[in-house]
């Protein structure tokens, strides 16, 4: 999985452990992990972009495309109050949904 600027505050290992309890092939697990990673990335970006002005969105996206993690955090911490908590909250909401889906799947196996 790719290391994102927020990787130090969001983990998906707990979701992967839950997936391992399902009767899935390695390729199915890998595919699902990729989808989960992508979904979390989109949720995080949505949480951030919804807080930024149009000009700051452009700057953020430039830093993101250049993979400049330090500049991303400087911008976010300067423009959005409690940004790390907002990112964590958005990711946790999605992870909780995913856990519920996995639980439902296990019950129906």
Q: Per residue in 40-59, pLDDT tens?
A: 999 999 999 999 999 999 99
The per-residue pLDDT for range 81-101, each reduced to its tens digit, is: 999 999 999 999 999 999 999
pTM over 0.75: yes
Rounded CA gap, 97 and 25, in Å? 22
Residue carrying the six token digits 């639980």: 103
Return the CA Rg of the chain: 16
Where do we find the tokens 């699902």?
A: 32
Backbone phi, then psi, for 2, in 5-degree steps?
-70, 145
Q: Are 97 and 11 in contact (CB under 8 A)?
A: no
| Domain residue extents for the chain | 25-103
Tens digit of pLDDT for each residue in 1-24?
A: 678 999 999 999 999 999 998 999
């Amino acid at each position: 999985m790719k290391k994102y600027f927020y990787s130090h505050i969001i983990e998906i290992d707990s979701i992967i452990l839950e997936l391992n309890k399902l009767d899935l092939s390695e390729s199915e697990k890998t595919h699902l992990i990729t989808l989960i990673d992508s979904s979390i990335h989109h949720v995080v970006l949505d949480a951030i972009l919804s807080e930024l002005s149009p000009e700051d969105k452009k700057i953020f996206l430039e830093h993101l495309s250049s993979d400049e993690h330090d500049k991303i955090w400087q911008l976010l911490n300067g423009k959005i109050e409690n940004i790390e908590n907002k990112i964590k909250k958005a990711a946790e909401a999605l992870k909780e949904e995913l856990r519920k889906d996995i639980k439902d799947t296990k019950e129906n196996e």
